[in-house]
Amino acid sequence: MSGDRSRFFTLNFLGFSTLIALADQAIKWLVQQSMAYGQSVEITSFFNWVHVWNKGAAFSLFADGGGWQRYFFIAIAVVVSAVLVKLIRDSHQRTEALAYAMVLGGALGNVIDRVFRGHVVDYLDFHWQSWHWPAFNLADVFIVLGVIMILVTGFTAEKGVGNNTKNRQNG
């Protein structure tokens, strides 16, 4: 890719990451303005809109760590974000760059919470009878979708499905 085209390609995906983080933050702001901490509103028989905090990692791992985890997870998010920006910049395939951008946008949405609130605000609660999946947020959705896309594109690239890179290198 030429320099200008590569820069435009990168900026488009970084812009998408920014939109994800901003949308996530806007929803979190609405949740905090409209609901008390711990409040739950039943939307359907399997979904609640909630206002809860997560001071730990996924599924509240290390949530009772005494505060060290906030700085640890901020540091990890900064390093991972830098790596993702480089991967987006170096990517030559849109699907791959989109996947990295989704993970980056989600990571930014959650790290903003950790920096300014000391915890991540979660608001989506799916359940079946008495079983509840841990509450999560839009940032988490994009992280998971991005990781799935990375795995799928990696798997299909290894199998040669839709991958012209080998043909370009050999031809």
Q: Which position among 24, 113, 125, 140 bears the catalytic label? A: 140
Instruction: Please check whether residue 6 is in contact with residue 93, taking contact to mean a CB–CB distance below 8 angstroms.
Output: no
Q: Please give the mean pLDDT across all residues of the chain.
A: 86
Q: Does residue 122 have an active-site annotation?
A: yes
- What pLDDT does residue 167 have? 43
23 pLDDT more than 90 = yes
- What pLDDT does residue 169 have? 47
- What pLDDT does residue 166 have? 45
Instruction: Please check whether residue 168 is in contact with residue 134, taking contact to mean a CB–CB distance below 8 angstroms.
Output: no
Please report, rounded to a whole number, the percentage of residues in the chain having pLDDT higher than 90.
64
31 pLDDT more than 90 = yes
3-class SS of residue 89: helix
pLDDT digits (tens, 9 = 90+) for 48-105: 999 999 876 665 555 555 667 778 878 998 999 999 999 999 988 899 999 999 999 9
Beta bridge partners of 131: 128
- Single-letter residue type at 151: L
- What pLDDT does residue 51 have? 98
| Cα 80 from Cα 98, distance rounded (Å) | 16
| Cα 20 from Cα 76, distance rounded (Å) | 19
Give the list of residues 6+ apart from residue 126 with CB closer than 8 angstroms, or none: 46, 47, 132, 133
pLDDT digits (tens, 9 = 90+) for 128-144: 988 989 999 999 999 99
| Cα 56 from Cα 27, distance rounded (Å) | 20
Burial 95-115 (b: 16+ CB within 10 A, else e): ebbbbbbbbbbbbbbbbbbbe
Q: Which position among 24, 113, 122, 125 bears the catalytic label? A: 122
Q: Does residue 64 have an active-site annotation?
A: no
